[in-house]
Amino acid sequence: MSEEATEQKIPKGSYAAGRRVTIPEGAEQPIVVFINGVAQSEDQDYVLRGNEILFTREIIKEEKSGKKKLVMLLGVVGFYNKDETIDVQYQLNGKTELAGDLSVSK
C-alpha cells in the first residue's frame, strides 16, 4: 500500500468511517472485495493483513440521524449522500459465501 493516500472530498451529511474491515471468521482464498458492488484490486485499492482488509483510502458512510431515518422510512423525500458499502466474497468449507455491508473501523 502506498503512503500517498488520495485525499477525497467528504460530502455534507457523510463522514470518513475508517479504512479497516474484518474478514468473516474462517474465510479462505480467493477473497474478492467490493465497494458499492464494484470489485476492488488487491494492492491498488486494499491489502489483506491477517483477518483484516486495509483500504488505501477512507470509506465514506452516511450520517443517519433519527429525523433522517424517519423521513426516509416514510418515503417523503430522498437523500443522496455518499454511503459506501463493503461486501466480501470468499470461500468457506468449499462453498462460495458473501458477507454484505461489513462494518468499517478506524
Let me know if residue 4 belongs to a domain. no
Let me know if residue 37 belongs to a domain. yes
Let me know if residue 3 belongs to a domain. no
Let me know if residue 5 belongs to a domain. no
Range of the domain at 56: 14-99
Count of C-beta atoms within a 10 Å radius of residue 23: 19
Backbone φ and ψ of 39, nearest 5°: -60, 140
Let me know if residue 56 belongs to a domain. yes
**14 and 58 in contact (C-beta within 8 Å)?**
no
41-74 pLDDT, tens digit per residue, is: 999 999 999 999 999 999 999 886 655 555 555 6
**85 and 98 in contact (C-beta within 8 Å)?**
no
| Cell triple for 14 | 457523510
pTM of the model: 0.79
Task: Please count the structural domains in the chain.
Answer: 1
Let me know if residue 9 belongs to a domain. no
Reduce the DSSP state of residue 21 to 3 states and report it.
strand
CATH number of domain containing 45: 2.60.40
